[in-house]
Structure 1
Amino acid sequence: MAAIKPFKSIGIGVAFSPNMKANLYEAARLSLFFNSKLYLIHVGDHDEKKLNELRDILSFFEPGGIDYEVVFKAGDPVNVILSSANSKKIDLLILGAVQREGFFKYYVGSIARKITRQAKCSVLLLIKPSVQRVPSEHIVVNGLKDPKTEQAITAAFYVAKKLQANKITIVEEINKEQVGVTIEDDRSLRRSRIMKERVRLREDSRIKEIISHIPSEYTKDMSIKLQPIFGKRGYSIGHYAQVSRADLLVMNGPTKMTFWDRLFPHDIEYILTELPTDVLILQ
C-alpha cells in the first residue's frame, strides 16, 4: 500500500480571543507533524495589525519550515469558515470547543457544532489547547462495521505515528440485539455469554483483517488493543475514551444528518453533546 497522507492542508478559524495563541500553536504543530499547509481563517476584513500579530505568533515555527496563509473574509462565521475550507481545499479543519462554566464536561459551541455538522472535510475538535505541547499517548478509534471504518482506523494509525503516540484502542461497539438472547435464568445467561463471545471473535477477526492492510511503518511498535463494548453507539465509545483517559478519539463522519438525528441523538451527536477528549471526525 502507498504511503498515507490524509491531511495535505489544515485550516483553523482564528478569533482574537484569550485562547488564540494556544489554538495557533496546536494547529502549527499539527501542520509540521503532517507536513501540511496551514490556512488561518479570520472572519472580518483585511487588517494589517491583526496580520502582523498572527505572523509574530507563528514566527516561533518558522525554523521548522511552516507553510501558512492568512485568509480574511467578512460575513457569517459559519459560512465564511465552510466556504474558505471548500475554496482552499482544506482536508482538516481545527475548531476550539467550549468548556461550560461550573461543570467538568466539555461542550461544542454553537458555531463549532454547526460547522462540524456541515463540513465536507475532516474536523478536529480541541477541548484543551496548549502553548506547550502535551504529548499524545493513547488514541481510541471506532471499529464499528461500516464502509468508512477502514479509513478511520488507517487514519488513526497515521495520526498516532505522526504524534508519536504508542497505544491505539479500537472499540467495537456492538448492539445488544446482535446477541439475540433475553436473559431470564442461568441457562439463558450462559447462552448470552456464548453468543457475546462468538460476536466478539467475529468482530476481532474483521478488525485484524483491516489492520493487516495498513502499512507496517504505522503499526510497528504500536500497542494495539481490541475492545468490544455492548451498548449504545456513540455514547459507549465516548464513555470509554473518557474513562481510559484517551488523548484523542477518532470517529467516522456522519453520512447524513437530518432533523430527526438532532432530535434523537446518536453516534456523533452524543459525542458533540459531551466531548470526552479531543475528537477527530473523519470525512
Structure 2
Amino acid sequence: MHHNPYQTLGIGVAFSPNLQANLSEATRLAKMLETRLILIHVGEQNHDKEKQIKELLPADSNDYQLVFKPGNPVESIVAAVDEYDIDLLILGAVKEEKFVRYYLGSIARKITRKASCSVLLLTNPSVERFACAHIVVNGLEDEHTAQTIQTAFHVAHKLKTPRITIVEEINKERVNIKIDDDQSLQRANELKDKLRREEDERVQKILETIPQANREGIKVATQPIFGTRGYSIGHYAQIKRADLLVMNAPKRSKAIDRMFPHDMEYILNELPTDVLIVR
C-alpha cells in the first residue's frame, strides 16, 4: 500500500466533558496522518455553538470543516460519513465510574456497526499528546488481514511508533488431541509448533508487501496465541499495555447487522486500549 489509506478524518462533536480532549486528538491526528478534518455536530446550526467549538480547538487548527446535521445522532453521523467521503471516523468511549474500564455507549456502538469507513475508538482522549509506543494488530487468517496490517504500518510510520506486534490467534480447537500420557502431550506440542510455523510463514509473506518507508525504524514481532478469537488479542493488548489495537472490521452479514461476531463484541465490551477497526 503506497498510497495514504486515509484522506478525510471525521469526528462527532458533542458538548461533553471530553470535548476539548476529543478536538485536540482529532486535530493532532489529522495533521500527523495528513488528512482533512470534518467536525460533525448533530444539531441545528447556531452562532453560539460555532463560537464555543472554535474556542476549544487548538490555536493552530485551520484545515477543518465544521458541519451541522440535525436529526438522529446515529443516522446523521452515518450520513455525514458518506456525504463528506470520510474514511476514518473517531468515536469516544466512556469511562465507567467505579471501574477502570471503558465501554461504548449505545450510540457509538451503533455508529461503529453502521459506518462504511474505518473507526477509531478513543478510550482516554487527552489535550496533551501521549506518544503511541506500541501497536498490536491482528494477524488472523482472513482475506482482509493484509490490508489491516498494511494500515497498521502506515499509521505507525505517521505516528512514529517504534514497535508493532502481529498477534496470530489460533483456535484452540485446531489442537484437539486428548492429553492423557507423555506421547499425546508430545503430539499436541508438535502440532502446536507446526501451526505456529504455518501462521508465521503466512504473516511473513504479508510483511514482504509493506513499503520499506513504512517499516523503517519499527521493531516487528509476531506472537501466536492459542485461545478464543477477540478475547486473546484483547487480553494480550491489555497486559502488554499497547497504545493501539488494530483489528479487521467484522464481515457484514446479509441480514440486518444487529450483532457483531463474538470476537469484536468482546473487544467493544472490554476496550483494552484505543481500537482502530479497519474497513
Same fold (TM over 0.5): yes
Distance 1:92 1:110 in 2: 20
Distance 2:15 2:257 in 1: 35
- Whether contact under 8 Å (1:28, 1:61) holds in the other structure is no
1:59 is displaced (CA, Å) by 4.9
Deviates more, 1:96-105 or 1:242-251: 96-105
Alignment partner, residue 35 of structure 2: 36
Q: What is the DSSP-based 3-state SS (H/G/I as helix, E as strand, rest coil) of the residue aligned with 2:54? A: helix
1:49 is displaced (CA, Å) by 1.4
Superposed CA offset, 1:90-120 (max 9, x none) = 0000000011111122111111001111111
Alignment partner, residue 77 of structure 1: 73
Distance 1:54 1:148 in 2: 37
Letter in 1 for 2:56: I
Alignment partner, residue 157 of structure 1: 153
Give the direction of change, closer, same or farther, for the CA distance of 1:247–1:162 in structure 2 (3 Å limit): same
Alignment partner, residue 24 of structure 2: 25
Q: Which runs of 5+ in 1 are unaligned?
A: none
Alignment partner, residue 4 of structure 1: 3
TM-score computed with the length of structure 2 as normaliser: 0.96
Q: Which runs of 5+ in 2 are unaligned?
A: none
Q: What is the DSSP-based 3-state SS (H/G/I as helix, E as strand, rest coil) of the residue aligned with 1:18? A: coil
Alignment partner, residue 253 of structure 1: 249
Alignment partner, residue 178 of structure 1: 174
1:259 is displaced (CA, Å) by 7.7
Distance 1:49 1:106 in 2: 31
- Whether contact under 8 Å (1:4, 1:158) holds in the other structure is no
Q: What is the DSSP-based 3-state SS (H/G/I as helix, E as strand, rest coil) of the residue aligned with 1:174? A: strand
1:27 is displaced (CA, Å) by 0.4
Counterpart selection for 1:92 from 85, 88, 96: 88
Q: What is the DSSP-based 3-state SS (H/G/I as helix, E as strand, rest coil) of the residue aligned with 2:186? A: helix
Letter in 1 for 2:140: L
> Over the residues paired in the alignment, what is the CA RMSD in angstroms?
1.5
Structure 1 residue runs of 4 or more that deviate by more than 3 Å after TM superposition: 257-262
Give the aligned length: 278
Distance 1:185 1:88 in 2: 62
Distance 1:61 1:119 in 2: 29
Distance 2:37 2:198 in 1: 41
Alignment partner, residue 185 of structure 2: 189
Alignment partner, residue 238 of structure 1: 234
Alignment partner, residue 125 of structure 1: 121
Distance 2:68 2:187 in 1: 62
Alignment partner, residue 211 of structure 1: 207
1:226 is displaced (CA, Å) by 0.2
Alignment partner, residue 143 of structure 2: 147
Alignment partner, residue 52 of structure 2: 53
Alignment partner, residue 14 of structure 1: 13
Distance 1:198 1:180 in 2: 14
Counterpart selection for 1:275 from 271, 274, 278: 271
- Whether contact under 8 Å (1:23, 1:129) holds in the other structure is yes
Distance 2:257 2:30 in 1: 36
Distance 1:73 1:206 in 2: 45
Counterpart selection for 2:217 from 216, 221, 224: 221
Letter in 2 for 1:231: G
- Whether contact under 8 Å (2:165, 2:221) holds in the other structure is yes
